[in-house]
């Protein structure tokens, strides 16, 4: 694979990552990009996060800068909770990434950010769709006010449903691949389409 193609893939993955930070792309959509970026130097992700935070500050000035950094790292952490990336690889990557992110934070807020990043697993997750909900240090979230779009906070049960769906798809795809039958790729595509269609039609806990 040429260096040009690799650079193009990394550039595309970084763009999708920033969209994910702003809730413009769902976790499942950026999982491949996240896996690719985790194989590279954490300094690249840290610099991308810093660039994203700088852009957010221009829109919303009433929120602490450290909250934006926390939000970005939390969004990466959530990829592991959704079982979209390897947990061990993610843990090792975050251990390298967190100190780099803290260094980008203003000195007056670094210790607060460092402490909350260490307790990140204890902060409850709330999934927002689309943008405008920021994961804040100490738990909870806040609307940034950068858009007038309505916000729907997905319940924890939806996260659980997503995990079960991913496990089912992975199990079915593995079984098809192991069968060695002809038309494997077509059958795998059918399995994914059927699973997603079923999930879309399934009633949510809130009755919608």
Residues of the chain above pLDDT 90, percent = 41
Nearest alpha-carbon partner for 127 in 148, 158, 149: 158
Contact 144, 56 (CB under 8 A): yes
Question: What is the mean pLDDT of the segment spanning 180-188?
Answer: 69
CA distances from 1 to 4, 7, 8, 9, 186 (A): 8, 10, 11, 11, 26
Torsion 61-37-75-128 (CA) sign: positive
Which is more confidently placed, 19 or 141?
19
pTM reported for the whole predicted model: 0.62
How far is residue 206's CA from residue 181's CA, in Å, rounded to a whole number?
41
Q: In DSSP terms, which residues pair with 135 in a beta bridge? A: 141
């Amino acid at each position: 694979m040429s260096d040009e193609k690799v650079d193009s893939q990394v550039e595309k993955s970084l763009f999708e990552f920033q969209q994910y930070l702003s809730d413009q792309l769902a976790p499942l959509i950026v999982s491949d990009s996240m896996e690719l970026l985790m194989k590279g130097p954490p300094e690249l992700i840290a610099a991308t996060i810093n660039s994203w935070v700088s852009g957010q500050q221009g829109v919303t000035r009433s929120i602490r800068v450290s909250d934006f950094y926390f939000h970005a790292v939390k969004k990466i952490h959530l990829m592991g909770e959704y079982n979209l990336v390897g947990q061990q690889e993610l843990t090792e990557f975050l251990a390298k990434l967190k100190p780099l992110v803290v260094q980008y934070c203003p000195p007056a807020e670094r210790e607060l950010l460092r402490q909350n990043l260490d307790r990140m697993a204890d902060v409850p997750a709330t999934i927002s769709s689309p943008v405008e909900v920021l994961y804040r240090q100490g738990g909870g979230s806040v609307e940034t006010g950068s858009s007038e779009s309505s916000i729907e906070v997905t319940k924890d049960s939806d996260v659980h449903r997503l995990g079960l769906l991913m496990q089912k798809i992975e199990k079915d795809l593995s079984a098809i691949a192991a069968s060695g039958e002809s038309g494997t790729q077509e059958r795998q595509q059918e399995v994914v389409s059927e699973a997603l269609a079923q999930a879309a039609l399934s009633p949510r806990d809130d009755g919608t």
